[in-house]
Structure 1
Amino acid sequence: MTTPGKPPRNPRPPRGPKPTAPKRKTRAAKTPSTAGRRAKYEFGAIPDDTFGSATDIPPPRSPEAPPLAQDQRFEYLLDNPDLYKAAAALPPPSDTGRPAHHPPVIYLIFLCSISLFGSARATACHLQRRLWWDMVRRSVHTHMGDAVADTLKPTGPSRSNWNHYFHKILKPAYEDIRDTSRDLWIQQALDHGMMEAAGKRNSRVNPERHQVLHGDATVASPPSSQTEHESVDERTGEIRRHRVDEDAGITVEGGDKLVYGNKFLSVGVRLADTPHSRVIMALESIRHRSVKDDPDRDAEGTAFVKMVTHILTRAPGLRAATYDTALRGVHRAPLIAEGLLVFTPQHSGLPPQSLQRYEKGPCTHDLYVAEARVCLRRITVDGQTHYTPLPVEELEYREGKRTRYYHRVTIPCAVSTHTVRIRVDETEEDRQIDPSTGRRRFNRTEHLRQIPPDTPAGRRLKGFRQDSESTHSRFDQCYPHKRVPVYGATAGLLVYIGFAWLNNSVTRARTGLITAS
């Protein structure tokens, strides 16, 4: 009920047709890459062959890694004997200028502890307390003797001590620290029994977990996301000044995600069904800008090839390496020639390629490469192109100056079943330049894979690469807001090296306990 002369509290709008908002233009939904590739041709069912069957039982999940306390990780770091060997690569204290206050090994421990405590400020705060500093003194006494331990000060480095040593000593010597750490980490992996020839005979299609490298690149965010040194507040006109990471840039991740930061590449290996057994063996800062803007760093694929090639000189038992689609045929070819099985997912948009024509007696078969494997090409009655994947009986391996790999495929025929061997590594003919196009005649390692991705064996190797994703995720989570607390690619790489030392120290301690039990 309402009072006369006053409008109702909640007046109702007059009845009538509801106003309609103007329709917004929407883009047509994108079709999946696989559907887009196969829209112009038909692709047959994947056969059961040496790469597995659709009825194969997937491998069981690995046991969950137990959590570790902060002080426990710190003890593992201090108990790593390789850490004190790496300290020998650090420049000695200078007789001129500002004194270092502490021996080089203390600053290496400080660098590794940044990933444990989250920042240099927090690390200095912890090492100023006797609870943590006494642990450092005891470890230095154990691994380096009384003479070095007696020279240590009552408390750890201050933030000022660290900043001076980091910028004046560590950063100029980062290449020596990187290379020394890499060689010690490779030896650690070998000491754990990784990258060695298997004790039992096993197929190259299914290498054991410790024989497979996993690699990936990540973009680490700097402390500030600002890209300009100055900005103007549009409302007040105030000029604000910002600190900018001069090395950072915008990179595309995951196909369409733009991220800002510095790009780093890591390569590691781990044991099967063993928690806390991952060993990071090599790290590098890589180029994410044009060659003109950053000529001193290698591109992602080139850096990965250099890393793996160096590891192969130390670990001849290595069988395979997994990576993402950033690795192209030009990068896979030299690693395959070294005897490695290189697995990556297939790029979208690669059209089928003519391979060869097989002729024997009255039989003629056109062989093509489609979806990373050898197929038989036919034209259906309705005019559609159909590719039938051929079963691979065996992935054959031949040693020589350049290692060769073959697919021994079976061609079904009404007259008789044919067997043919197809090279799946780069041949001499592939490298010849076609005078009509100015390009190589056939980019075989780009279109034809040693292990096709859409197979049980391919999915198994693809799962191994998730260890690299886990490594980068753990690295990001070490720091507040997932931002590496330093500016510059060189400083970021040093912090990542410290993270790797912490990770590998945990692996050394935990794997040793497991082996002893």
Structure 2
Amino acid sequence: MTSPPKTSSNQPQAATPKAANSAALPPKAPAAAGKSGKSKKAKPYAIGPTPDDVCGSAADKPEPRGPQAPRITPDQRFTALAHNQQLYQVALAVLPEKHDGSNGRPPGFPPYVYLIFAASISIFGSARSTQAHLRRSLYREYLKQGVTECLGPQEADRLPDTGPTSSQWYYYRLKMLGVLSGLREASRDARIAQAFGVGLLGTAGPRGTWIRPNRSQVIHGDGTVMKPTDQTEPVTVDEETGEIRNHYVDPDASIQTEGGGRQVYGSKYLTIVTRLARMPHSRMILNIDAVRHRAKPLDPEKFNEAAAAVKMAMEVLAAAPGIKAVTYDTALRGVHSAPFIRQGGVVFTRRHDGIKPHEVAECSDGKCTHSLYAAAGRVCERRITVEGNTLYSPLPVREFEVRGNGKVRFYHVIEIPCSSGEHTMRIRVYATEEDREIGAGGQGGKFNRTEHLRQVPPETPAGRRLLGFRQDSKSTNSRLDQAFPHERLPAYGSKAGLLIVIGFAWAQNALTHLLHRLTK
């Protein structure tokens, strides 16, 4: 163990936060009566300052802000939807055109009209409002112009002189739910192809590095709970009159906890999105699915949020190898990040509270010995200060190495300051078989390396930059909530809700695609 560094007036002391701030802050008032007055237990160690390294410097300028997004009217959104070539291709390839049997109501409209109807619900707020708009001559003309451009004038002449009713929509929706899995996958592939067309996913435009990827090379995931109707009980009894009322209740909704501990009643949906840097209305939704939020026996067809996030991100990565990074919230733990890292991606999440420092290696050349620990998401040197406190001093990362083609391996080449000369050491930041078997340092138990050591440490300029990119997911969820009155999804059941969310993605991506065509 090296001797602790000498303290001076221009070097911060390694005291606990309480001791360091006691002289600058006024004394606290005594606890109010009836309260225990207990404070949060201080950590038995301190983390040193973040050094300047390949992850950025404190002097780095923040990312420049992009231009303000212009207002988009419902007419523009519907026009973009009606002129989206990929939408017609998916509808004609996946959706049934006629009734399955000899009996039953005929569809009345081609299948692409009902996919446009599903997407328009997020534009107009409900099926009844969509019916009212599509029965107007203005929107029928928008639709006819789109069909003429994408399928030809003869197909446009086949369209009826009126728009579909909500009754026709609900009847055909049952057939759409029967092929929902195929519709989700075909829509995902079409959206990824559209993303390539506008310069996303690393195929065109500027390319970044692993530490600082271009925004178009980063995908962002997030889950959101969509609220159904406000009825949670199938039968209610009026306490005054004794009247018994039956209600239609969402069979898949339940009370769930979102970020910040807020409880929400509904079903959860997960989206994977990306966007161009400093380009308004350039967001593209790449992948969507409903995720499990109840016990597995009650909902065996779905994955839980973390497992679904990995599956969906891997689906996008398989189709778009130019992706360099994925960002997510703390629902994604180290064990979930490992598969994506093995395929050559950087995973960025915030660090979980309560993760204790863990020994990862020891550097010794006979003259000195340095104990290296994983703390604050990066490699730190453990020291004991003159006050007898434990200090984990972050070590600068001088190089971020990427090796391999099939299974990619990531390393931090760290620098260890020492009075006898600086040392360098290569530390793995990907999960290994050794970690799963014996643990680091020869200790028993497993070592969750990707949980303790992050490829891009959160408390760095590069980490804060990637954290800012996650606002795309939040904006997507906010836009999804605001698309419907009272932020309630107009559907019962997670499958019907997923169909509406798939339509929302078509409307969002069609707008991005059209605006890109107009600006070329």
The normalised TM-score by structure 2 is 0.89
Between 1:269-278 and 1:309-318, the stretch displaced more is 309-318
Residue 211 (structure 1) aligns with: 217
Answer yes or no: is 1:80 the counterpart of 2:80. no
Aligned residues: 484
Residue 125 (structure 1) aligns with: 132
Answer yes or no: is 1:173 the counterpart of 2:154. no
Per the TM alignment, residue 311 of structure 1 is displaced from its structure 2 partner at its CA by 1.5
Give 2:90's aligned amino acid.
A
Structure 2 CA distance for aligned equivalents of residues 79 and 189 of structure 1: 16
Among candidates 45, 48, 52, match of residue 41 of structure 1: 45
Answer yes or no: is 1:398 the counterpart of 2:403. yes
Give 2:213's aligned amino acid.
P
Residue 439 and residue 150 in structure 1: after superposition, are their counterparts in 2 closer, same or farther (change >3 A)?
A: farther
Give 1:424's aligned amino acid.
V
Residue 80 and residue 301 in structure 1: after superposition, are their counterparts in 2 closer, same or farther (change >3 A)?
A: same
Residue 407 (structure 1) aligns with: 412
* Matched residue SS, 1:227: coil
Residue 192 (structure 1) aligns with: 198
Per the TM alignment, residue 401 of structure 1 is displaced from its structure 2 partner at its CA by 3.5
Residue 276 (structure 1) aligns with: 281
Residue 233 (structure 1) aligns with: 238
Answer yes or no: is 1:260 the counterpart of 2:265. yes
Residue 96 and residue 146 in structure 1: after superposition, are their counterparts in 2 closer, same or farther (change >3 A)?
A: farther
Between 1:247-256 and 1:472-481, the stretch displaced more is 247-256
Residue 346 and residue 432 in structure 1: after superposition, are their counterparts in 2 closer, same or farther (change >3 A)?
A: same
* Matched residue SS, 1:52: coil
Structure 2 CA distance for aligned equivalents of residues 116 and 296 of structure 1: 30
Give 1:64's aligned amino acid.
Q
Answer yes or no: is 1:143 the counterpart of 2:154. no
Which runs of at least 4 in structure 1 moved beyond 6 Å after TM superposition?
A: 198-201
Give 2:366's aligned amino acid.
G
Answer yes or no: is 1:108 the counterpart of 2:115. yes
Give 1:460's aligned amino acid.
R
Residue 72 (structure 2) aligns with: 68
Per the TM alignment, residue 202 of structure 1 is displaced from its structure 2 partner at its CA by 4.1
Residue 164 (structure 2) aligns with: 157
Contact 1:198 / 1:208 at 8 angstroms: preserved in 2? no
Per the TM alignment, residue 385 of structure 1 is displaced from its structure 2 partner at its CA by 1.4
Per the TM alignment, residue 488 of structure 1 is displaced from its structure 2 partner at its CA by 0.7
> Which structure: larger Rg?
1
Give 1:479's aligned amino acid.
F
1:279-318 → structure 2 map (5 Å cutoff)? 279-318=284-323
Residue 221 (structure 1) aligns with: 227
Among candidates 244, 248, 259, match of residue 243 of structure 1: 248
Between 1:209-218 and 1:393-402, the stretch displaced more is 393-402
Answer yes or no: is 1:453 the counterpart of 2:451. no
Deviations 1:347-389 (A, max 9, x none): 1111111111111122111110111010111223333211111
Give 1:432's aligned amino acid.
E
Per the TM alignment, residue 251 of structure 1 is displaced from its structure 2 partner at its CA by 1.1
1:324-335 → structure 2 map (5 Å cutoff)? 324-335=329-340
The normalised TM-score by structure 1 is 0.90
Per the TM alignment, residue 210 of structure 1 is displaced from its structure 2 partner at its CA by 0.4
Structure 1 CA distance for aligned equivalents of residues 281 and 132 of structure 2: 28
Structure 2 CA distance for aligned equivalents of residues 199 and 60 of structure 1: 18
Give 1:469's aligned amino acid.
K
Deviations 1:299-351 (A, max 9, x none): 11111111121212221111111111010111110101101011000011111
Deviations 1:194-245 (A, max 9, x none): 11257667431111110000111100001x2222212233344433332211
Contact 2:91 / 2:115 at 8 angstroms: preserved in 1? yes
Give 1:450's aligned amino acid.
Q
Structure 1 residue runs without a partner (length 5+): 1-22
Contact 2:207 / 2:214 at 8 angstroms: preserved in 1? no
Among candidates 313, 316, 327, match of residue 322 of structure 1: 327
Per the TM alignment, residue 39 of structure 1 is displaced from its structure 2 partner at its CA by 1.8
* Matched residue SS, 1:255: helix
Contact 1:330 / 1:446 at 8 angstroms: preserved in 2? yes
Structure 2 CA distance for aligned equivalents of residues 196 and 202 of structure 1: 9
* Matched residue SS, 1:355: strand
Residue 510 (structure 1) aligns with: 515
Structure 1 CA distance for aligned equivalents of residues 36 and 140 of structure 2: 61
Structure 2 CA distance for aligned equivalents of residues 201 and 178 of structure 1: 30
Per the TM alignment, residue 146 of structure 1 is displaced from its structure 2 partner at its CA by 3.9
Per the TM alignment, residue 456 of structure 1 is displaced from its structure 2 partner at its CA by 0.6
Contact 2:201 / 2:218 at 8 angstroms: preserved in 1? yes
Contact 1:276 / 1:511 at 8 angstroms: preserved in 2? no
Per the TM alignment, residue 432 of structure 1 is displaced from its structure 2 partner at its CA by 1.6
Answer yes or no: is 1:476 the counterpart of 2:481. yes
Residue 122 and residue 199 in structure 1: after superposition, are their counterparts in 2 closer, same or farther (change >3 A)?
A: closer
Per the TM alignment, residue 440 of structure 1 is displaced from its structure 2 partner at its CA by 5.2
* Matched residue SS, 1:407: strand
Among candidates 345, 348, 352, match of residue 343 of structure 1: 348
Between 1:211-220 and 1:505-514, the stretch displaced more is 505-514
* Matched residue SS, 1:382: coil
Per the TM alignment, residue 142 of structure 1 is displaced from its structure 2 partner at its CA by 2.9
Structure 1 CA distance for aligned equivalents of residues 107 and 199 of structure 2: 39
Structure 2 CA distance for aligned equivalents of residues 439 and 310 of structure 1: 35
Give 2:297's aligned amino acid.
K
* Matched residue SS, 1:215: strand
Structure 1 CA distance for aligned equivalents of residues 215 and 81 of structure 2: 25
Contact 2:252 / 2:494 at 8 angstroms: preserved in 1? yes
Per the TM alignment, residue 24 of structure 1 is displaced from its structure 2 partner at its CA by 7.5
Structure 2 CA distance for aligned equivalents of residues 325 and 24 of structure 1: 37
Residue 41 and residue 249 in structure 1: after superposition, are their counterparts in 2 closer, same or farther (change >3 A)?
A: same
Report the identity percentage.
49
Structure 2 CA distance for aligned equivalents of residues 285 and 433 of structure 1: 37
Between 1:201-210 and 1:76-85, the stretch displaced more is 201-210
Among candidates 364, 385, 389, match of residue 390 of structure 2: 385
Residue 98 and residue 440 in structure 1: after superposition, are their counterparts in 2 closer, same or farther (change >3 A)?
A: farther
Answer yes or no: is 1:134 the counterpart of 2:141. yes
Structure 1 CA distance for aligned equivalents of residues 445 and 254 of structure 2: 33
Contact 2:218 / 2:324 at 8 angstroms: preserved in 1? yes
Structure 2 residue runs without a partner (length 5+): 1-31
Give 1:109's aligned amino acid.
I
Residue 149 and residue 390 in structure 1: after superposition, are their counterparts in 2 closer, same or farther (change >3 A)?
A: same
Among candidates 75, 100, 105, match of residue 98 of structure 1: 105
Answer yes or no: is 1:498 the counterpart of 2:508. no
Between 1:188-197 and 1:242-251, the stretch displaced more is 188-197
Per the TM alignment, residue 448 of structure 1 is displaced from its structure 2 partner at its CA by 0.6
Structure 1 CA distance for aligned equivalents of residues 36 and 126 of structure 2: 45
Structure 1 CA distance for aligned equivalents of residues 173 and 206 of structure 2: 48
Structure 2 CA distance for aligned equivalents of residues 377 and 198 of structure 1: 44
